[in-house]
Chains A and B, each alone.
Chain A
Amino acid sequence: MANEAHTATRQVVESLREKVQGPIEAWLDICAHCGLCADSCHAYVGTGDVEHIPSARAQQLEKVYKRYHTKLGQLAPRLVGAEELDEEVLDRLQKMAYQCTLCRRCTLYCPFGIDNASIVGVIRALLAEAGRVPAGLQEHTDTAYEKGNTLGISEDEFLDRVEWFEEELQDAVEDEEAEIPLDREGAKVLFVPTPIQIMRFPTVIISAAKIFYAVGEDWTMSTKRFDATNFGLFSGDAEKTRVMAERLVDEMERLGAQVLALTECGHSYWAMKYGAETWLGNALPFEVKNIVEMIAEYASQGRLKLDPSVNRDVVTYHDPCNLGRKGGLIEEPRAALKAAVENFVEMTPGAEQTWCCGGGGGMIAIPDYEEVRLASGSPKVEQIRRSGAEVVATACDNCKLQLLDLAEHYDLDVSVVGVVDLVADALILDEDRD
């Protein structure tokens, strides 16, 4: 009986077979349903909703997979708990997949290291194919795909903003000649910001420019590609993910740069450093670095002079999942901060075991998820309270937006700033520059 709903999902069912293979299949097979991952997930801890237990997300995928691609699941669906991909299941999958922030904290707590974030990635890919990306996230993705950046900023608008950033830079470093280079071919470093920074967190760009100025970096920005983010990755749309990564690769090639310096942003670093190679089918011919990584390098080479006494508040660092746990940048931001502030404190559990802010994975772009997002942030809030910090430094717009929302919602008296901002504030500029 080939009704309409059935044909609509046929393609999804087919691609399910291609995606649930190798490691993904192994993980579904070995999960002991022990529930150890439950308390590691902020979404479950924050909401108490059992559909947010990491293994529950994976099991929901497994149930659908079994229904279509195993004999027992076809013959005796009830016995093995196989489920048809109907409207109800699609809705549940959507909630389970897009309310997971892909933070990989559960991976560290599962005795078998089952990576539920990869499994959720598969679910998102299926939902994207089925046209089930939540509203808000879909719009941002489409805008980025069609207009080249998530906010649809035009080139003129961008130039306007940069002009203003440049004036701010000149004031800050007291040098009329200081500039924000644009489209400079042959520059060593291409620095790519995010649209949110251009419009809402401009200090990140100005601070980065100040740091580049201080160390005399050979850098540029691009007037074509000023969006580091990859919303294709959030929505699960494989084609758009690839195109968005490819744009940055092409721009690097056009300008002949050697280092792709990504701004304070978690997922774009992960996307370019670890994802792009798989999506594009070849290794990237240049280095991918995050700005905090570059700052740590400058500091270790003695190229940065910092005066920590300008930052006297108690500062803690929130590791964006994509930079810390998933990206491997644990020491770098700490090295930068410790050189730039007087009172640095860690949160516990810290470093790669830190709690996710609860707003990642694209959730911040989905208005319907606000309530869950705020609830999911409660373990992070507790952790910040316990640390006694007055300032939470982080290196990701997404985390920042979420932390600001959390501070307001939970009456948490902290300010939220970027690592680059604290470092830029502490900069001592040499009188005689060569």
Chain B
Amino acid sequence: MSYWFAWVVSNVLPFITATVFFGGLAYRVVRWRRIPRASVSLVVLPGSRSVGQTLREIVTEVVTFRRVFKGSKVLWVVSWLFHLSIFVFVLGHLRLFIDFTWLWKLLRLTAEQVDLFGFAGGGASGTVFMLGLMALLVRRLRMPVRSLSVPGDYFLLLLLLGIAISGNYMRFLMHIELEPYRAFFSNLFHLRLGVPVENMIFVLHFLLVQVFLIYFPFSKLVHVIGGVLTLKWTLR
């Protein structure tokens, strides 16, 4: 039973996930580009800016979270570290798919050093991510943010917490060799269905990530693209 479960999660679900994720995001963007039929004047904050200026401001906003800083210093620390950790471990996970040998050569790093580097970066970001989620959850449980919260907000934080805990468990409490996982993903990309990696924690982690990606286009997480797309309407 657990074998078949693992097989489905590893070999079937990923295709559904990818379809829903990319299709869902495309659907969102197409809808956002519609012009309201009712005459709603959308001149929000006037002021002429060049394309370059707008781009620069968007990049600053995305990198520094300036507006969050302006609103709340505490949330800024939590939120900025939280998002930075996401950025770091998403990069780290790329090692599952691509072998960056040229980069290591360029940086003159040996295989051991790369692994150590990966362990440190992954461990730190995983920890920060987990603590950040807990802090965000506590904040959400307190007024006034509590009054703005819907079930989806809690679901998302708990789902991510599940991903963080299972990921950190593998990182800190299990000894994991990268190779079989790399082989697994390589097979998956080449549509070679095979025996999944025999690690139930991994299967759980992978399942939660996919639930997350399927939920993504239908949740507030579309702020990842929407936040950037819409900022240009209201930059100041």
A and B part of one assembly: yes
Please tell me if the beta carbons of A19 and B67 are within 8 angstroms of each other in the complex.
no
Please tell me if the beta carbons of B71 and A109 are within 8 angstroms of each other in the complex.
yes
Q: In the complex, what residues of B have CB within 8 A of residue A80's CB? A: 150-152
Please tell me if the beta carbons of A274 and B46 are within 8 angstroms of each other in the complex.
yes
Residue-wise, chain B 223-236 has the 8 Å CB interface mask toward A (1 for contact) of 10011011101111
B70 CB → nearest A CB, Å: 6
Q: Which A-chain residue is minimally distant from B235 (CB atoms)?
A: A113
A61 CB → nearest B CB, Å: 13
Question: Does A38 have its Cβ within 8 Å of any Cβ on chain B?
Answer: yes
Please tell me if the beta carbons of B148 and A35 are within 8 angstroms of each other in the complex.
yes
Q: In the complex, what residues of A have CB within 8 A of residue B32's CB? A: 22-23, 25-26, 29
Please tell me if the beta carbons of B41 and A279 are within 8 angstroms of each other in the complex.
yes
Q: In the complex, what residues of B have CB within 8 A of residue A238's CB? A: 38-39
Please tell me if the beta carbons of A53 and B71 are within 8 angstroms of each other in the complex.
no
Q: In the complex, what residues of A have CB within 8 A of residue B38's CB? A: 15, 18-19, 122, 125, 238
B26 CB → nearest A CB, Å: 14
Please tell me if the beta carbons of B45 and A111 are within 8 angstroms of each other in the complex.
no
Question: Does B182 have its Cβ within 8 Å of any Cβ on chain A?
Answer: no
Q: In the complex, what residues of B have CB within 8 A of residue A19's CB? A: 36-38, 40
Please tell me if the beta carbons of A278 and B36 are within 8 angstroms of each other in the complex.
no
Please tell me if the beta carbons of A111 and B65 are within 8 angstroms of each other in the complex.
yes
Please, how many angstroms separate the alpha-carbon atoms of A50 and B33 in the complex? 32
Please, how many angstroms separate the alpha-carbon atoms of A307 and B35 in the complex? 51
Question: Does A409 have its Cβ within 8 Å of any Cβ on chain B?
Answer: no
Residue-wise, chain A 3-26 has the 8 Å CB interface mask toward B (1 for contact) of 000000000000100111111111
A324 CB → nearest B CB, Å: 10
Please tell me if the beta carbons of B226 and A110 are within 8 angstroms of each other in the complex.
no
Please tell me if the beta carbons of A35 and B145 are within 8 angstroms of each other in the complex.
yes
Binds B, one of A169-177, A325-333, A392-400: A325-333
Please tell me if the beta carbons of B226 and A26 are within 8 angstroms of each other in the complex.
yes
Question: Does A182 have its Cβ within 8 Å of any Cβ on chain B?
Answer: no
Please tell me if the beta carbons of B222 and A33 are within 8 angstroms of each other in the complex.
no
B55 CB → nearest A CB, Å: 15
Please tell me if the beta carbons of A22 and B234 are within 8 angstroms of each other in the complex.
no
Question: Does A121 have its Cβ within 8 Å of any Cβ on chain B?
Answer: yes
Please tell me if the beta carbons of B75 and A21 are within 8 angstroms of each other in the complex.
no
Considering residues B31, B43, B153, which has the most beta carbons from chain A within 10 angstroms of its beta carbon?
A: B43
Question: Does B93 have its Cβ within 8 Å of any Cβ on chain A?
Answer: no
A1 CB → nearest B CB, Å: 28
Question: Does B34 have its Cβ within 8 Å of any Cβ on chain A?
Answer: yes
A36: contacting residue among B37, B75, B235, CB under 8 A:
B75
Please tell me if the beta carbons of A29 and B71 are within 8 angstroms of each other in the complex.
no
Question: Does A40 have its Cβ within 8 Å of any Cβ on chain B?
Answer: yes
Residue-wise, chain A 98-122 has the 8 Å CB interface mask toward B (1 for contact) of 0000001001111111110110011
Question: Does A227 have its Cβ within 8 Å of any Cβ on chain B?
Answer: no
Interface residues of A in 300-337 (CB under 8 A from B): 325-328
Q: In the complex, what residues of A have CB within 8 A of residue B81's CB? A: none
Q: In the complex, what residues of B have CB within 8 A of residue A110's CB? A: 67
Q: A33-B153, A38-B144, A111-B227 are in contact. Are A21 and B46 (CB under 8 A)?
A: no
A278 CB → nearest B CB, Å: 4
Q: A23-B42, A110-B67 are in contact. Are A29 and B144 (CB under 8 A)?
A: no
A2 CB → nearest B CB, Å: 25
Residue-wise, chain B 193-236 has the 8 Å CB interface mask toward A (1 for contact) of 00000000000000000000000000010110011011101111
Interface residues of B in 17-39 (CB under 8 A from A): 28, 31-39
Question: Does A31 have its Cβ within 8 Å of any Cβ on chain B?
Answer: yes
Question: Does B53 have its Cβ within 8 Å of any Cβ on chain A?
Answer: no
Q: In the complex, what residues of B have CB within 8 A of residue A18's CB? A: 36-38
Interface residues of B in 66-103 (CB under 8 A from A): 67-68, 70-72, 75, 79
Q: Which A-chain residue is minimally distant from B232 (CB atoms)?
A: A113
Q: A35-B144, A115-B233 are in contact. Are A24 and B45 (CB under 8 A)?
A: no
Please, how many angstroms separate the alpha-carbon atoms of A38 and B72 in the complex? 11
Question: Does B149 have its Cβ within 8 Å of any Cβ on chain A?
Answer: yes
Please, how many angstroms separate the alpha-carbon atoms of A111 and B236 in the complex? 12
Residue-wise, chain A 32-68 has the 8 Å CB interface mask toward B (1 for contact) of 1111111110001000001001011001000000000
B145: contacting residue among A34, A113, A117, CB under 8 A:
A34
Q: A22-B34, A22-B36 are in contact. Are A33 and B148 (CB under 8 A)?
A: yes
B37: contacting residue among A21, A34, A326, CB under 8 A:
A21
Interface residues of A in 247-265 (CB under 8 A from B): none
Q: Which A-chain residue is minimally distant from B227 (CB atoms)?
A: A112
Q: Which B-chain residue is minimally distant from A325 (CB atoms)?
A: B45
Q: In the complex, what residues of B have CB within 8 A of residue A148's CB? A: none
Considering residues B36, B40, B223, which has the most beta carbons from chain A within 10 angstroms of its beta carbon?
A: B40
Please tell me if the beta carbons of B41 and A81 are within 8 angstroms of each other in the complex.
no
Q: In the complex, what residues of A have CB within 8 A of residue B2's CB? A: none
Please tell me if the beta carbons of B68 and A56 are within 8 angstroms of each other in the complex.
no
Q: In the complex, what residues of A have CB within 8 A of residue B33's CB? A: 22
Considering residues A26, A37, A50, which has the most beta carbons from chain B within 10 angstroms of its beta carbon?
A: A26
| Chain B residues in the interface with A (C-beta under 8 A) | 28, 31-47, 61, 65, 67-68, 70-72, 75, 79, 143-145, 147-153, 220, 222-223, 226-227, 229-231, 233-236
Apart from A21-B31, A107-B236, A325-B45, 12 more pairs, CB < 8 Å: A18-B36, A30-B227, A30-B230, A34-B79, A37-B71, A50-B148, A56-B147, A80-B150, A81-B151, A104-B44, A273-B46, A278-B42
Q: Which 6 A-B pairs have the closest CB atoms?
A: A113-B234, A30-B226, A26-B32, A274-B43, A50-B147, A35-B145
